Amino acid sequence: MWADEAALDAATRRLDEWESSLADRAARARDLSTRTRALTGTARSADDLVEVTVDPSGALTDLRLDERTRQHSAAHTARQILATTRAARVDLLRQLTEATTQALGDDDPAARAIVESHRRRLDPDPGTPDAGR
């Protein structure tokens, strides 16, 4: 089947390199998965009345309200919570993007797809202004 031993050796080396590359990518993907599961996004409102933390999926996990929120209307506080939650998701997206590009590289198509997936999930309306940190 093979014309000569050199061609067989070259084909074997290519297969070994391919296998090694796949093993390396799998290890980096596992590392990325572990790192992203541990990330949280946090933000504070500009007036420091509201602090929000979100988990890796963008769900609210912690909400802290300063006692001074009692001096504001419920509607104002609600707007602050929503804006600060958006800012926490932006913080999470930044961290997820950083972790992904560190693990897989800027040029990797899978990295770009992962970042875009996170962006669509965490920032469905990119035109919405976020709260201050």
Percent of the chain whose predicted confidence (pLDDT) is above 90: 56
Per-residue confidence at 125, pLDDT binned at 50, 70, 90? low
Q: CA separation (Å) from 16 to 9, 20, 28, 57, 116?
A: 10, 6, 18, 37, 32
Average pLDDT over residues 107-116: 91
pTM: 0.76
Task: Specify whether the CB–CB gap between 104 and 111 falls below 8 A.
Answer: yes
d(C-alpha 98, C-alpha 109), whole Å: 15
Q: What is the pLDDT of residue 15?
A: 86
